[in-house]
Amino acid sequence: MPVLTIKTDKKTIEVEKNASIIDVCEHHDTSILFGCRDGACGACMIRVLEHPENLSKMEEHERDFLETMAAREDERLACQCRVLGDVVVEVSE
């Protein structure tokens, strides 16, 4: 099973392959916040510290939103990500 590590919370969580980060966070006490839940507010921005290839591919609407937010290359919206393998993230500042 893949492991999602949230460095901000010092948590390592085993997840089903293809689990959405938003669903994982609903079942565990994490500091990742969710506002709109559909990639339009930016509340759930995370930095991917290790293994970005183990998250689902970025869709065009997420890419467009991140560009408007002047996000860094290693930032994603947690509400848009699915875990495909081990990955390490933290809450983006």
Pairing of strands 87-91, 45-50: antiparallel
pTM: 0.94
* Mean pLDDT score, 67-85: 97
pLDDT at 88: 98
pLDDT at 93: 81
pLDDT top residue among 9 and 93: 9
Q: What is the pLDDT of residues 16-68, one digit of tens each?
A: 999 999 999 999 999 999 999 888 999 999 999 999 999 999 999 999 999 99
What residues form DSSP beta bridges with 77?
Answer: 45
List the structure tokens of 28: 């565990």
Long-range contacts of 60-66 (CB under 8 A, 24+ apart): 65/39, 65/40
pLDDT at 37: 86
For residue 13, the surrounding DSSP H or E stretch is: strand 11-14
pLDDT for residue 69 is more than 90: yes
List the structure tokens of 53: 């290839």
pLDDT at 45: 97
